Amino acid sequence: MPKRPTPRSDNLRHALAQEAARIMAEHGIADFLLAKRKAAQRFGVEEGAVLPKNVEIEEALAQYQRLFDGDSHLESLQAQRRAALAAMRRLREFEPRLVGPVLTGTATRHAQVQLHLFADCAESVTLRLIDLGLTHEVTEKRVRMDPVRVRAYPGLRFEIEAQPIEVTVFPPEGIRQAPVSPVDGRPMRRASASEVEALLAAS
């Protein structure tokens, strides 16, 4: 029978979530598991059961950014979203969608703008970047599609408006099935260019 959480373990999990959030915000770490391990190491914690969930760390990160980063976080986030929209407009034929922390609002100043594109072959995206005169790097992204299935998709990295952009290229039918979010395990939220425009206008 699993142990019931005690007030002490709840407090420790909360403290670990806050420390992991601080590490992500200050050191630009995007990997939740790595941030958890660093926080646990700092607190001398070895028991896995007491480690916070990713969603708890994301909530702590949002709180940290409100308390300690304030206007600077909002300015950085707006710059990242403007760069995302500029990239989406230039790559509109691939039906781009914004995903990740820049969409949810918890991106640190070190975060990459993450876009999902949809094309029959990744080379067509590469050729478009060449046409646009954008220096780029070819990458590969491992994406969790459901609790048991992880797939590798082609990707590209480049910069727009001094912001790093990371794109993952899915086949056209991939627009109908979003990968699993590393935060809560649900289908990842995706936003179109018009939705990003609305976010910028609302801010």
Each domain of the chain, given as residue ranges in start order, spans: 7-52, 72-202
The CATH code that applies to domain 72-202 is 3.30.460.10
Dihedral sign, Cα of residue 107, residue 183, residue 199, residue 98: positive
Residue type, 28: G
| Dist CA 115 CA 119 (whole Å) | 13
DSSP-derived letter for residue 93 is: G
Counting as low any pLDDT under 70, the low residues of the chain are 1-8, 47-49
- The whole-model pTM stands at 0.85
pLDDT for res 7? 62
Cα distances (Å, whole numbers) of residue 134 to 5, 83, 128, 131, 159: 52, 14, 9, 8, 8
pLDDT for res 148? 85
**Which are the contacts of 69, defined by CB distance < 8 A and separation ≥ 6?**
25, 76
Q: Are 193 and 65 in contact (CB under 8 A)?
A: no
The token pair at 125 is 């995206």
Q: How many residues belong to the chain?
A: 203
| Dist CA 129 CA 153 (whole Å) | 18
Residue where the block lists tokens 């990713």: 54
The token pair at 169 is 């290229």
